[in-house]
């Protein structure tokens, strides 16, 4: 998979990380993120313990889920943060690991 076209893209505005993840999953895996941002409640998405490529990782902001990325395998995930461009980071990075709410996989 060529990730080069997905690196360095600007944050797309309101709900940007979610919209970016949805575009990436649709284009690269043919998956559709639900309109409901609560993946734990969304039909067709199930929580998983060990993430794989194209699983979604949800991060808490404060006490609530507030950021999303797409797992790439090898402990990496693709995401975009407001005010920055899209990038690949590691799930073990101390800026992200303590905030992981959960991993979700499309089951349909």
The domain segmentation of the chain, as residue ranges, is 9-99
Q: So what's the architecture of 9-99 in CATH?
A: Alpha-Beta Complex (3.90)
The pLDDT assigned to 63 comes to 86
Q: Which residues contact 106 (CB under 8 A, 6 or more apart)?
A: 31, 32, 44, 45, 54
**pTM of this structure:** 0.92
pLDDT at 35 over 90: no
Is the pLDDT score of 22 beyond 90? Answer: yes
């Amino acid at each position: 998979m060529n990730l080069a076209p997905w690196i360095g893209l600007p944050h797309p505005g309101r709900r940007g990380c979610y919209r970016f993840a949805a575009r990436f999953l649709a284009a690269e895996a043919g998956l559709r993120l639900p309109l409901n941002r609560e993946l734990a409640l969304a039909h067709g998405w199930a929580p998983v313990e060990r993430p794989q490529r194209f699983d979604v990782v949800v991060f808490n902001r404060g006490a609530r889920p507030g950021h999303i990325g797409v797992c790439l395998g090898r402990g990496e995930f693709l995401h975009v943060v407001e005010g920055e461009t899209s990038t690949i980071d590691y799930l073990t990075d101390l800026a992200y690991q303590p905030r992981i709410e959960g991993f979700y996989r499309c089951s349909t």
